[in-house]
Chain A
Amino acid sequence: MATKGKVLTLTEVNPMVRCIPTSKTDILVRRAGEITRELEQGAVKPFPDVIIVSSGDSHGAGMQPITFVRQVMAACLYPELLHSDRLPSDVRQRAQRLLGECEGSSVGSYSCPLGLDAVRRSVAESLQRRDGGVISDSDNIFIQSGSHVALMRVLKVLLHGEGVSQTGVLVPVPCHPRFTQAVWALGGVPLPFQLSEERGWVLEREELQRALRDARGRCSPRALYIVNPGNPTGHVQSRESIEEVIRLAAEESLFLLVDEVYQQTVFGVDREFDSYKKVLCEMGPPYSSTVQLASVHSVSKGFMGESGLRCGYVEFMNLDPQVKKHISSIVAKEGCAPIIGQIALDIMAAPPQPGDASYTTFRAERQASLDTLAHNVRRVQETADGLPGVSYQPPQGGITIFLRLHLSHRAVEQAKALGLEPDLFYCMRLLEEEGVCAGPGCDLGQREGTYHLRLCILMPTDSLEEMLRRLKSFHHRFMQDFC
């Protein structure tokens, strides 16, 4: 029998999949995995383990989960625990109540694809509290398997067309690569607009307009993606900036996609988080009744850090009812968010209150997490201040710092000779020589001729100190080698 060729060859793969850019950070993380396996098999390296600072996975980095969250989840998973005194009374009460909201009183049954009604209501109430009374309707809140998945559902209806009519989505530079990949994967074209590094990574209206002008005639810009607090920049938008963006969205008929997953981690002095929803409502008509907004949040970041649970939500404003129906049917096809994740979301929305049995512990743990973050930001800045050829714009929120690397001409040439972006070259050497896996700026986008390093720094302080020690050691050597 003659050998048959493959049905699926590279040229036969969906062009929408082929055009998704490969994330360079993924390549580094895979190599980090290989190095870890080599160490486990007894390989001798200049370091005992790999420290991953390229992803915002704080539990993966060693941060402890919030006890109350885990206790309630455990009681929901194994209701036998409701009958013992092992867990505090408020844990048992919350678990009992939430189990009552699940079909068959089990976290193993499906919920409505838009999420458990009780949790959607919980989220709506928390948003009203957050936004000083601005009304939030649970009907406009869809719970999904993470904020990223929630955004992808919206992208599915926004992205269509070909050539001049293909949907363009304005995306900030720098930006975490997953969103850009999703735009490509779902048939849209990302339209980059540069954030202003010299001014602290602020959004500039002129730059947004420049991006729009350049896009017209090539595609149809229909959406604008904002991350606030910024990732990787850590910039927290001022209220004036948010209003400016909203006005631009209104003028240019842009659907606003706002990623607010870092809203709980604002530490900058004189900085406050204002949600796009709140600002939009407070701007009044015509903006508040016309600008279309989808804002997302999740349990993955901040003090919760529950990235593995895969639960987040999107809240819509001014969404056309027919479109909402359509999104609901897209969502229905792929099932609900994991119930256990929805339980965690309920706790994030309605945490223990003063007087509750678990309140003191909860408050202490939440504060400890935020204190660790603030401490880590300070320590990274102190270290960076002492490194030649490193500068940064101080972050005001989020869990990342985006260091600028001023690399020598020799270093840049060497990288190019190897066919690598200079900051990727830096990161690869850092991984091989010191076992630190950081994110190269080329993966997130940056001005031509500039190079950056992204560090995710919500991790135990001793891990951070070890990481900084290795980074310092590497950096001095690197600068020396390529001076």
Chain B
Amino acid sequence: VFQGVKKPFTEVIKANIGDAHAMGQQPITFLRQVVALCTCPELLDSPVFPEDAKMRSYSASQGLSCIREDIAMYMEQRDQGVPTNPDNIYLSTGASDGIVSILKLLVTGEGTSRTGVMIPIPQYPLYSAAISELGAVQVNYYLDEDHCWALDVNELHKALSAAKKYCNPKVLCIINPGNPTGQVQSKKCIEEVINFAYEEKLFLLSDEVYQDNVYSPDCQFHSFKKVLYEMGPEYYNTVELASFHSTSKGYMGECGFRGGYMEVINLDAEVKAQMVKLLSVRLCPPVSGQAAMDVVVNPPRPGEPSFELFAKEKNSVLNTLAEKAKLTEKILNTVPGIKCNPVQGAMYAFPRIFIPPNAVEEAKTLGMPPDMLYCLRLLEETGICIVPGSGFGQKEGTYHFR
């Protein structure tokens, strides 16, 4: 297109990754001000910056232990008082870094005793890629498209008993809100999942990077940690749980900062020492991410100079995303051959497409999945770049795109 080649469109629309800023979303002013001040303290005398941003830049520069304390306070507040120990919090380079580290820790055994990792289908392909690289065994459990991609614990049981024949399933990965499906798990569902993990002795990984992206008025984000706590001490003191957050999503969208953290509870003390050792091999996570994360967990409070603008920007971003979620669902459902579930959260729509048999045949002869053919043709004809459902996993014979 840049070279003057004639196309039925003037630019490519990259709707293939969850990169909000790349698509024009504006950063949160306060966050940028604080990180800019941390970066260049000579600007502390500049009138361009409000006083509270200047104050916050001091604390955000205090280093890891202070940031971990701030994260712990944030989690306690978010979870209505559930205690959080800063010692259980580890900062990471985006959430991916933490997820891969935990998975690495957990993979062991040979043959039929090789570690099995249960992942949702459809899933965010970091999981399948990490499992493959670590030589673990991927165990799929299918989300229920007919019920807005809900997680049915019966499906978990089914997947687990089938898997026990060829591996040692030890890990259960949850993405809530879901990627690519956007489903937000109900509290009851989370309780059922936790109970399942408890009964079946599974290590729980809860990927909660979209916790600030909930649009459906009927849905609410519940952290796995909070629900676990509310289920009582037998569960709370037993279930091994790692939950993840990041600065890349939510209302911040700061993917390029590579900020993230994980909280790991009920880890055996000797195992914790191994994990700390493993994390130290990668050296520290980037300070840009650390500072940004500190602002995310410690935003302006009512009464502070930056609060009004912050609240306005945050609400604007989230409302816009909610509108887009609704609009996308609505418009896609007007197209014959496309059926889109309500987008309850996250940043994606994962509509089902009904591909005609001729197209399925053509795809076969070209040696590619039918939804890949669809996406390639879409790109060539309209300039829209999306990802075929085959990249995330889907029930046999169904096709989707994200």
Contact = CB atoms under 8 A, between A and B. Distances in A.
Interface in A8-43: 8-10, 12-18, 20, 22-23, 26, 33
Given A17-B104, A145-B286, A8 B271 contact: yes
Interface string A319-355: 0000000000010011111111100000000000000
Question: Which bucket holds chain A's interface residue count?
Answer: 35 or more
Contacts, number: 198
B280 A26 contact: yes
A7 interface: yes
B286 A181 contact: no
A110 B19 contact: yes
Nearest to A26: B280
Contact of A334 (B39, B100, B134): B100
B32 A78 contact: yes
Interface centre among B24, B33, B35, B286 (most CB of A within 10 A): B286
A185 B165 CA distance: 29
A71 interface: yes
Interface string B180-215: 000000000000000000100111000000000000
A53 to B, nearest CB: 18
A104 B105 CA distance: 37
Given A86-B46, A109-B19, A338-B286, A20 B39 contact: no
A108 B255 contact: yes
Contacts of A107: 256-257
B17 A110 contact: yes
A4 interface: yes
A13 B48 CA distance: 51
A308 B21 CA distance: 23
B1 interface: no
Question: Which bucket holds chain B's interface residue count?
Answer: 35 or more
A122 interface: no
Contacts of A6: 240, 266, 268, 271
A310 B274 contact: no
Contacts of A77: 32, 35-36, 39
Nearest to B258: A338
Interface centre among B32, B39, B287 (most CB of A within 10 A): B39
A26 B276 CA distance: 10
Nearest to B65: A33
Interface centre among A3, A23, A310, A330 (most CB of B within 10 A): A310
A445 B3 CA distance: 57
B376 to A, nearest CB: 19
Interface in A416-438: none
B48 A86 contact: yes
A337 B256 CA distance: 8
A334 B267 contact: no
Contacts of A185: 278, 281
A103 B27 CA distance: 13
Interface stretch (B91-99, B142-150, B321-329, B361-369): B91-99
Contact of B201 (A4, A81, A110, A335): A4
B131 to A, nearest CB: 11
Contact of A340 (B43, B105, B277, B288): B288
A106 interface: yes
Given A4-B201, A110-B22, A74 B40 contact: yes
A405 B36 CA distance: 45
B294 to A, nearest CB: 14
A71 B19 contact: no
Contacts of B258: 145, 310, 335-338
Contacts of B46: 84, 86
A104 B21 contact: yes
A121 B302 CA distance: 46
A114 to B, nearest CB: 14
A9 B36 contact: no
Interface in A91-129: 102-104, 106-111
A310 B271 contact: no
Contacts of B281: 20, 178, 181-182, 185
B126 A333 contact: yes
The 7 closest A-B pairs by CB, nearest first: A103-B22, A339-B256, A308-B287, A74-B40, A106-B21, A78-B36, A109-B21
Interface of A: 1, 3-10, 12-18, 20, 22-23, 26, 33, 67, 70-71, 73-75, 77-78, 80-81, 84, 86, 102-104, 106-111, 145-146, 148-149, 152, 156, 178, 181-182, 185, 307-310, 330, 333-341
13 contacts: A5-B201, A12-B170, A13-B108, A17-B104, A73-B39, A78-B36, A104-B22, A106-B256, A107-B256, A110-B22, A145-B258, A330-B133, A333-B96
Given A81-B43, A156-B133, A340-B256, 8 more contacts: A12-B170, A14-B105, A23-B280, A70-B39, A74-B36, A103-B22, A145-B93, A145-B258
